[in-house]
A and B are shown apart, each in its own frame.
Chain A
Amino acid sequence: MGMTMSQKILADHAGAASVKAGELIEADLDLVLGNDITSPVAIHEMDRMKNRRVFSQDKIALVMDHFIPNKDIKSAEHCKCVRNFASEFGITNYFDVGQMGIEHALLPEKGLVVAGNLCIGADSHTCTYGALGAFSTGVGSTDMAAGMASGKAWFKVPSAIRVLVTGKKRKYVTGKDLILHLIGEIGVDGALYQSLEFTGDGIADLSMDDRFTIANMAIEAGAKNGIFPVDEQTLAYMKEHASTCGKTYEADPDAEYTRTVTIDLAQLEPTVSFPHLPSNARKISEITEAIPMDQAVIGSCTNGRISDLRAAAEILKGRHVKKGLRCIVIPATQDIYLQAMEEGLLKIFIEAGAVVSTPTCGPCLGGYMGILAAGERCISTTNRNFIGRMGDVTSEVYLASPYVAAASAVTGKISSPEELQ
């Protein structure tokens, strides 16, 4: 029996010739990640260890991104705890205000994850790096602590769902629409404990930013990881950002998948996920009622990259945000922020009546920088629309692409970019 791409990476890191779905293995880690919310819990756990140590100063990444610049005194204490830890152990990849970005946009940009790597992160969206052909998955703080100390973690080898992507996208269709559609098809637990392995000739039509968005939201289908094959685009991205292109793995031709889901890109439309689950996905053409919005958020680890900002700017250029609606744009990293400035995108946003924030996870998880009041609605390029996710328990989050979020910001209700023409 052949192995999936994910299984091959796990086998190599466990020093095994082959692994099977369901098997429990211990594997060597290439990177352990934590942020300002999850790292303090991990550091407290490490403090309880008899042998307090880190396995490598260079293979741990600590990114202050959720509640920073510090939103309150308690958040400041958390960051201070992580800052002191990074200093004590000489952690090279510690990113604080001024260097930081949203972790899952930052790590690939800094070349800290490449194809074939095995990474864990104390953040559920760690699955983002599957876009680079790496196996990466979210864990909790105790796993992070054990990983930082030992450089190892235990895994149950996952089975996989094959997602066969064909065709070419239409104008205004993005990776976000693909992943919302897929979650709508298979449900929020449709890939529970499994890998989502993307394959097919349609992948060539997905940019790296599209792939990051898609892999990022694999967790919203319950998946352990989402992974893409390595192609010319992946290699070009790694050559630009990293010192190595890692190792390319391919699934065996006879690899076993529990099912295959086919997605024809040409059939996709801009898609919106309604409250309160990412699986409540509806095509924009099926939304016939007017759904007024109070806020639009364009950013996050899902959609805060340069192509996302370009898409939003394409819509907002020469237009104005609807009176009474707040539009918040959050570039995901300092480099993206700078690039957006150089390309004139920030000017477009500000002239349109939007605000531009420093990189932060902020409103995505209801931290700060755009919290919703009772009954308010937000169209958002983020990844979760759970009850109370962005504020009051009666507020509502609608998930969409940057095109749709920007178009909705202009009209004040959920809108397709095509409506503006």
Chain B
Amino acid sequence: MNAQGKVFKYGDNIDTDVIIPARYLNSSDPAELATHCMEDIDKTFTERVHQGDIIVGLKNFGCGSSREHAPIAIKAAGVSCVIAETFARIFFRNSINIGLPILECPEAAAEIQDGDTVCVDFSTGVIRDLTQNKEYKAQPFPPFMQKIISAGGLINYVNQNE
């Protein structure tokens, strides 16, 4: 499994309130949530993002509220992968559970720049910045997490095993 796309780079402590503000949580429709993704921190994100693009954050990405609407909005906006120095733990679980690939890699998170084109191999954890011609190695997912992600989330995975 691979992903390749243009990078949207953000800073530390990107919380789930800015990823999807609570005023839109009266909906649980992924397509509708996607139209407000990152709205409170990057008003033009939804106009600029293309299928396959990658979000890069620094420390504690996805902190705050447990709303699964946050990774749902990111995935439905077309983002193929999130790379960060560290993730908040609930966001980490939620992303795996809905089949949004995320990778922790401090070096890549620090050096990759906004607008770079990046390619990720999920089975090896190799992240390549094609713009800067640099390569990084993240911890690959343990096999059970890879299976959940390739099934498209925890529920599909559970269904496959029933």
Contact = CB atoms under 8 A, between A and B. Distances in A.
A299 to B, nearest CB: 16
B23 A189 contact: no
Nearest to B71: A140
B13 A393 contact: no
Given A50-B159, A142-B153, A222-B89, A388 B68 contact: no
B31 interface: no
Interface string A182-202: 000000110011000000000
B26 interface: yes
A139 B93 contact: yes
Contact of A387 (B17, B23, B142): B17
Contacts of A126: 66
A67 B59 CA distance: 31
Contacts of B27: 74
Contacts of B23: 366-367
A365 interface: yes
- B63, B66, B88, B153: which has the most chain A beta carbons within 10 Å? B66
B155 A139 contact: no
Interface residues of A, number: 47
Contacts of B65: 123-124, 365, 384
Contacts of B64: 124, 219, 384, 386
Given A224-B89, A388-B17, A393-B40, A38 B66 contact: yes
A4 interface: no
Given A188-B13, A188-B60, A142 B155 contact: yes
B13 A78 contact: no
A49 B154 CA distance: 10
Interface in B34-54: 40-41
19 contacts: A37-B69, A38-B68, A49-B155, A49-B158, A50-B162, A67-B26, A71-B26, A123-B65, A123-B66, A124-B90, A142-B98, A146-B155, A189-B88, A224-B89, A384-B65, A386-B15, A386-B18, A387-B41, A389-B22
Interface of B: 13, 15, 17-18, 21-23, 25-28, 40-41, 59-60, 63-69, 71-72, 86, 88-90, 93-94, 97-98, 142, 153-156, 158-159, 162
The 8 closest A-B pairs by CB, nearest first: A140-B94, A74-B26, A140-B68, A142-B97, A189-B60, A124-B66, A365-B22, A388-B40
Interface of A: 24, 37-38, 40-41, 44-45, 48-51, 66-67, 71-72, 74-75, 78, 122-124, 126, 138-143, 145-146, 188-189, 192-193, 219, 222, 224, 277, 365-367, 384, 386-389, 393
Given A38-B68, A386-B17, 9 more contacts: A37-B69, A48-B156, A126-B66, A146-B155, A219-B64, A222-B60, A365-B22, A384-B64, A388-B18
